[in-house]
Amino acid sequence: MPEFVYGTAWKEDRTAALVQLAIRAGFRAIDTANQRKHYYEAGVGEALAAVYRAGLVERENLFLQTKFTYQRGQDHRLPYDSKAPLAVQVAHSLASSLDHLATDHVDSFVLHGPSSGYEWTEDDTEVWEAMRHERDAGRTRLLGVSNVSLDHLEQMAANALELPAYVQNRCFARTGWDREVRAFCDQHKINYQGFSLLTANPEVLRHPPLIGLAEKLTATPAQIVFAFARAVGMLPLSGTSNAEHMKQDLASLTLTLPPEVVQAIESIAG
C-alpha cells in the first residue's frame, strides 16, 4: 500500500517530465484518470517508459491508479463511445488506460464520481458492477470511488454492493476534514485518500499555532498538514510541480505529531 500519491491533474504537456521528476524524488504511487479534460494519461505512460528504461524502478514497485469518468465529466476527447452501454464504456476506458500506461493491470481503478451528487443511482450500480468485472478479470487489483458523500457510501452498503477499497475525496478542514466519510471508511476498512489538502484549506496554512508548530519542528506548514493527514489515517495526494516541494512532501512521512496536536489540527476549522 502506498504512503503518498503523486497526482497528475492539470499538467498537460508537462505531465511526462513532472511524473519522471516525482518518481526520481521518490514517489512510488501515481494517480491519473482517463479524462483528457484534466489529465494527460498518455504523458504518464511516457514518464513510466522513461523511468523503466533508465532502470529507476520496475512496474511491480509502482502503484498506478486511474479512473473511469462519466461523459458529463469529460470534454469531446472521450475514451469510449458515448452511445455504448455503461458497462462497455467502463471496459473501453480501462483498456485505453492500460494502453496509455503500457501495463496489463492498474493497482486501483476508481469511479471518478457518482452520476448524481445526491444519491447512488442505478447507473452507478451498473458502472460499479462493470468495474468489479474488470477487477475479477485481473485488470485492476483494487477498486475505488471518488467525490462521494456519506449518503453515497451508505446507499452502496444498503444495496449490498461490494464496498470500495479506496475513497478519494477533496478534504476540507471545515468539515472536520471529511469527518463523516472518514468515520465510515474506518468502520468498513476502506482506505481514505485525501486531495486538495493544501488548496482547500488556506486558513489552516495561515493558522498561527500551526505555523508556530512548523517552526518548532523545522518543518513547513504544508508538511504539518500532510503529517496530520497521515496521523489520522489518510493517504495524502500531492500534485506539486516543484522539485523541492516533492522532496518536502515525502519528507513529511518522517514527521510524527503528538496526539494532542493531531486532535487540535482536526478541530481547527470544523
Ligand X SMILES: NC(=O)c1ccc[n+]([C@@H]2O[C@H](COP(=O)([O-])OP(=O)(O)OC[C@H]3O[C@@H](n4cnc5c(N)ncnc54)[C@H](OP(=O)(O)O)[C@@H]3O)[C@@H](O)[C@H]2O)c1
Q: Summarize as ranges the residues that interact with ligand X (CB under 6 A).
A: 7-9, 31, 112, 146-147, 168, 195-196, 198-199, 220, 222, 237-242, 245, 248-249
14/132 with CB nearer ligand X: 14
In the bound complex, what is the minimum distance in angstroms from residue 45's beta carbon to ligand X? 15
In the bound complex, what is the minimum distance in angstroms from residue 181's beta carbon to ligand X? 13
1/137 with CB nearer ligand X: 1
97/238 with CB nearer ligand X: 238
Decide: 222 and 250 in contact? Cβ < 8 Å.
Answer: no
In the bound complex, what is the minimum distance in angstroms from residue 252's beta carbon to ligand X? 8
In the bound complex, what is the minimum distance in angstroms from residue 247's beta carbon to ligand X? 9
166/184 with CB nearer ligand X: 166
213/222 with CB nearer ligand X: 222
In the bound complex, what is the minimum distance in angstroms from residue 55's beta carbon to ligand X? 26
32/155 with CB nearer ligand X: 32
In the bound complex, what is the minimum distance in angstroms from residue 49's beta carbon to ligand X? 20
Give me the residue whose beta carbon is nearest to ligand X: 7
Give me the DSSP letters along the chain: --SSEEE-TT-GGGHHHHHHHHHHHT--EEE--S-TTT--HHHHHHHHHHHHHTTS--GGG-EEEEEE--GGG--S--SS-TTS-HHHHHHHHHHHHHHHHT-S-EEEEEE-S-SSSSS--HHHHHHHHHHHHHHHTTSEEEEEEES--HHHHHHHHHTTPPPPSEEEEE--GGGTTTHHHHHHHHHTTPEEEEE-TTTT-HHHHT-HHHHHHHHHTT--HHHHHHHHHHHTTEEEEE----HHHHHHHHHGGG----HHHHHHHHTS--
